[in-house]
């Protein structure tokens, strides 16, 4: 079974600075998908970024980018130019190549301070 570990329960960052959230996972599969979701107090899970394991190039979405290290089974999220609206719970998630279930980590609370 796949597992996802987020070792940072809470993180803080000053507005406009950069922060990196860590995620490691365990799988025996070669192809799969990785996701970062944001959950603000409204509770709605919002997709931030996704990565296909067979692609070596790290995914980027505006201020959000990932550092995907397949051999190390690591998938960290970097948020540049942090904004107050980035304050939320962030979840890392894994999906098998032909699967449908998302396996989530326990989450990291990110607080952006002004």
Partner 1 sequence: GAGVSQSPRYKVAKRGQDVALRCDPISGHVSLFWYQQALGQGPEFLTYFQNEAQLDKSGLPSDRFFAERPEGSVSTLKIQRTQQEDSAVYLCASSPAMLGRTGYTFGSGTRLTVV
- Contact residues toward partner 1 (CB under 8 A) are 4, 33, 35, 37, 42-47, 50, 52, 91, 93, 95, 97-107
Interacting residues of 26 by C-beta distance below 8 A, sequence separation 6+: 2, 3, 4, 5, 73
Pick between residue 5 and residue 18 the one whose CB is nearest to partner 1.
5
CB 95 within 8 A of CB 26: no
Least gap, CB of 61 to partner 1 (angstroms): 12
Q: Of 94, 85, 104, give the one whose Cα is nearest residue 29.
A: 94
Least gap, CB of 45 to partner 1 (angstroms): 4
Pick between residue 28 and residue 100 the one whose CB is nearest to partner 1.
100
CA dist 18 and 89 (Å) reads 16
Least gap, CB of 34 to partner 1 (angstroms): 11
């Amino acid at each position: 079974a796949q597992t996802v570990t987020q070792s940072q329960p809470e993180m803080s960052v000053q507005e406009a600075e950069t922060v990196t959230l860590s995620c490691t996972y365990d799988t025996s599969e070669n192809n799969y998908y990785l996701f970062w979701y944001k959950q603000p107090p409204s509770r709605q899970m919002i997709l931030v970024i996704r990565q296909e394991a067979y692609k070596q190039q790290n995914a980027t979405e505006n201020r959000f980018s990932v550092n995907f290290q397949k051999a190390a089974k690591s998938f960290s999220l970097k948020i540049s130019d942090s904004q107050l609206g980035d304050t939320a719970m962030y979840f890392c998630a894994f999906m098998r190549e032909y699967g449908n279930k998302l396996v989530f980590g326990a989450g990291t609370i990110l607080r952006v301070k002004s």
